[in-house]
Amino acid sequence: MASLGWLSPRRRSATARSVLAGEASAEAARKSSQELELAEETAESAAPEEPEFPVAGDEQAAAFFDLDNTVMQGAALFHFGKGLYKRKFFQRRELTRFAWQQAWFRVAGVEDPEHMQDARDSALSIVKGHRVAELMSIGEEIYDEYMAERIWPGTRALAQAHLDAGQKVWLVTAAPVETATIIARRLGLTGALGTVAESVDGVYTGKLVGEPLHGPAKAEAVRALATAENLDLNRCAAYSDSHNDIPMLSLVGHPYAINPDSKLRKHARERDWRLRDYRTGRKAAKVGIPAAAGVGAIAGGTAAAIALHRRRR
């Protein structure tokens, strides 16, 4: 302590104590760091490795993807409606009506039976009298015009991972089954469950077959398909953006919340479900606009029964 000789005894004592305190603190920090590293290494070695997923070659596993805002930005039916409007299938006031119905549904978050019935009737009146083959052909064109560039690359990669593992991948959507089938085929998926509009001799009658494929109905569709395909739902995965699909997500062993709405995000976090959000910053805000204009028309055009269209090879 010779270097401190010029200090007063009290000052020298205070400084020495400070040095001692500093050295003790540094030593304690060093030991704490070493103990933390040891604890982390122990935890890592003790923690079981997460099994690979999807499991390659598991024939009793499959994946189920919601379409709107999960696989595709916005609503497929709304994009399809824009394509039909471009081809003069209906007037601007009807397109505006669809957009309003979708925005209302998105904001309200609930389904009013009378509102949905009115929307369904509007959608069905548009295709009434047209041939199924005609709408399928137009649907191919509309996919290229409005939908192809709206596919989320991240979700597409998830679907491809299941395909690469040798598993079947299905769209489960309230959109018309013809539209859903086109999208599934273009993406190389197995097939689609979606809305069924009645047709006689290949011509739409303006009526629906069955009830809306929405909420719990989606879960029932997946359950029925799993039985038919001899699938083990505990080994299957499901993906959706909407809290309305919680019944479907809860049915499988591997639920994923993709670009989730607030209710689904909260539900997923409470249950430790995996989340994926491919929206960022202003892009997410912009996506919210067509999303709002998408769901109601789905509700409007949906009123769907369960239909299974497998990919023809």
Q: Tally Cβ neighbours within 10 Å of residue 10.
A: 8
Instruction: Give the 3-state secondary structure of residue 187.
Output: coil
Contact status, residue 127 vs residue 204, Cβ threshold 8 Å: yes
Please give the angle made by the CA atoms of 196, 223 and 216, to the nearest 5 degrees.
Answer: 65
Residues involved in catalysis: 66, 68
- Angle between helix 76-86 and 113-127 (nearest 10): 40
What gap in Å lies between CA 214 and CA 20, rounded to an integer?
70
Sign of the C-alpha dihedral computed for residues 69, 308, 121 and 143 taken in this order: positive
β-pairing, 197-200 vs 191-195, is unpaired
Helix (H) or strand (E) holding 167: none
Contact status, residue 99 vs residue 297, Cβ threshold 8 Å: yes
